[in-house]
Each structure stands twice: as C-alpha cells, then as structure tokens.
Structure 1
C-alpha cells in the first residue's frame, strides 16, 4: 500500500469515526429524553458505545503513528474494532427506536 492509499484509508476511518460520533450524539439525546427506567438502560448502552468508540479512535491513532511494516499488521486489529463498534451501534439503534 503506497502512502496515498494509506492516507486515504486513514481519512476514511476518521470520517467513519466522526459519523459514528454524530449518530451517538443523537442516541444520547434519545436516552436523555427517555423515562427514568429506560434512561438508565440507555445510558449503560451509551457508556459501552463510547468506550468502544474511544478504543477505535485509539487504534486509529496507533495506526497513523505506525511504521509501514507495523501498519499492515495493525490494519486487521483496527478493522475488528470498527466492525465491533458498527455492530454495537446497530443494536443500539434498534433498542432506541
């Protein structure tokens, strides 16, 4: 992977993180507006999502700082974190409806 491909890939990941953050903000607003019992459960879900987003953000930072050889090895770990966060967001969306 050349430098421009790597940069484009990292920019794509950052854009996805930003999109997920915006979606999580919307879910947080729904959680805040929920009845007391539901709000507690929603907040637990939001806390888990935020922890996963932070983990994904950290992995992106590590990927951006990695050498070329390490970057290739780290890519699969980043993709696993992305898949996990995406799946959690899907579940949260269905619960918040």
Structure 2
C-alpha cells in the first residue's frame, strides 16, 4: 500500500468518526430547549460545512497523482485541524448544557 493510500484511509476513518459525532450532537440538540436548539443548530451547520470541506480536500487527494499529493497534504491537515478543534469545542458546549 502506498503512503498516499494509507494516509487517505486514515483520514477517511477519522472523517467517519467526525460524522458519527455530528449525528450524536444533532440528536442531543433535538432534546434541548428551543432557544438553545437554534444556537446548537447553527454550530452544527458550521460543523457540517467543515466536514464537507474536508471531504472535498480528500477528493482532491484522490485525483492527485503519486507525486502531487504531498502538496495537498498541508491543506488537508489544515482542514482537519479546524474540524478537530470545532468537534472538541462542540463537545465541550454539549457537556456544559
């Protein structure tokens, strides 16, 4: 297995976990009071957007050749770091409710 393929599999697995967490947060938001739910839904929409951005970066990685994918890695790492921070922040907010 190439380094690119291993990297892609790792990120796809992590992205799957992020999507599962988003589903969990959405279920928790449904059980919140209406005013709190609106606030959570806005944050969850942002989180969904970050997941979609990360998916797009992974598609770019799929289309990149063996030599070019290293150049995309920085953008993917940045998108993933942003998503990871947002997931942690969202989890912290749900714990405080």
Would you call these one fold, judging by a TM-score over 0.5?
Answer: yes
Query: Does the 8 Å CA contact 2:4/2:66 hold for their aligned counterparts?
Result: no
User: Given the alignment of the two structures, is residue 91 of structure 1 paired with residue 84 of structure 2, yes or no?
Assistant: no
* 1:62 CA displacement: 0.6
Displaced runs of 4 or more, over 6 A: none
Pairwise CA RMSD: 0.9
CA distance in structure 2 between the aligned counterparts of 1:48 and 1:75, rounded to whole angstroms: 23
Q: Secondary structure at the match of 1:68?
A: coil
Residue 81 of structure 1 corresponds to 79
Deviates more, 1:53-62 or 1:64-73: 64-73
User: Given the alignment of the two structures, is residue 10 of structure 1 paired with residue 8 of structure 2, yes or no?
Assistant: yes
* 1:68 CA displacement: 2.3
Name the one with the larger helix percent: 1
Residue 65 of structure 1 corresponds to 63
Unmatched 5+ residue regions in structure 1?
A: none
| Number of aligned residues | 95
